[in-house]
Amino acid sequence: MTELIKGISRRTLLARSAGAAVAGSIAMPYVARAQARTPVTLAIQFFARGDYAHVYLARERGYYAEQGLDVTFKHVLGNALAMQTLTAGNADIIHADIVQMLQLQGKTPDPQMRAVAMISDKLALSLFFQKGKGINTPKDLEGRSIVDSPGSTAPFIFNMFAKANGIDVNKVTWKNAAATAKVAMMLQAQADAVAIYLPAKPGIESKLPAGQEIGALTFGDSVQIYGDGLITTEKYWKENKKNVQGFVRATMKGCKDSYADPKAAAEAISKHFPELNKDLAVKEMQIQATLGEGPYQKKNGLGHIDPDKMKATYEAVISVLGQPISKPVSEFFTNDAF
């Protein structure tokens, strides 16, 4: 070993030391930048599925890092849990239902929440049913039963859907089941229909026996109110505006890429959830692409919130859900995150 060291000239050692110093001077700013990224936690309203893949693709492609953010995702089971996670300070931003946000704000104004971007311009809540059992149109729901999870706003939003389609709500029965069991109730004919988001369709179809088909009636075809959005607290928005803006911009880039290439989105999320069926994830993202961009977004950009549609959503919570809200609708959304 000593002979080996002696065989290395002083000039060589100095050159190598200089090279290491240069390498360090190049690497250290990168490390510093990585360490300087601001941590942001996003809570997502449901378990991992293809329609949530846009954030994984955005992170994989470095869009959050470009904005100086180090983003972590956590999936929870339901909108209520997502909002509890936000209010408890265990998430900075959530992907959740705008109707339930407004309903909660009417009941519990503090902490105040604000939608900073729209994910689903079209209301994705749908009623799935087995074909061949007499349900072909919305009116056929009369005399039938619908199952959903306890605490869901679906029965209230159904009132709007019913009014638009001439359905007598008194002739429809609602049943409760856990979120993980309600689809099985419909498939086992313990309920005639199940209320669930439209991107769930490929997953439900994958469980059907040969020869069985399902149909869907989507509320957003008749009810012009908002679906899911990105929501934060007013305090976080005011104190971390730059971070929220960066998060929204990066997320919308992820949405755009995912709508254009759902296979890439499916690949991105499946790296973190290898149990996901990639083919189903592609189909789920394809459905989300039909929900995410409405006329207002096509004109103003993905994620932008239409003040008129937000007002209609706000008014529906008050008049249909019967939930008074003390603050004006302008307090619950902003387009300043773009």
Give the pLDDT confidence score for residue 153 in this predicted structure. 84
Contact partners, residue 6, CB within 8 Å, separation at least 6: none
Q: Which amino acid is at 169?
A: V
Give the pLDDT confidence score for residue 151 in this predicted structure. 80
Give the pLDDT confidence score for residue 179 in this predicted structure. 85
Contact partners, residue 210, CB within 8 Å, separation at least 6: none
Question: How far apart (Å, rounded) are the C-alpha atoms in residues 255 and 229?
Answer: 13
The model's pTM is: 0.86
Question: How far apart (Å, rounded) are the C-alpha atoms in residues 70 and 33?
Answer: 11
- Give CA angle at 280 (179, 192), nearest 5°: 40
pLDDT of the chain, 338 residues: tens digit per residue: 433 333 333 333 333 333 433 333 333 343 334 468 999 999 999 999 999 999 999 999 999 999 999 999 999 988 999 999 999 999 999 999 999 999 999 999 999 999 999 999 999 999 999 999 999 999 999 999 999 988 888 998 999 999 999 999 999 999 999 988 999 999 999 999 999 999 999 999 998 988 889 999 999 999 999 999 999 999 999 999 999 999 999 999 999 999 999 999 999 999 999 999 999 999 999 999 999 999 999 999 999 999 999 999 999 999 988 999 999 999 999 999 99
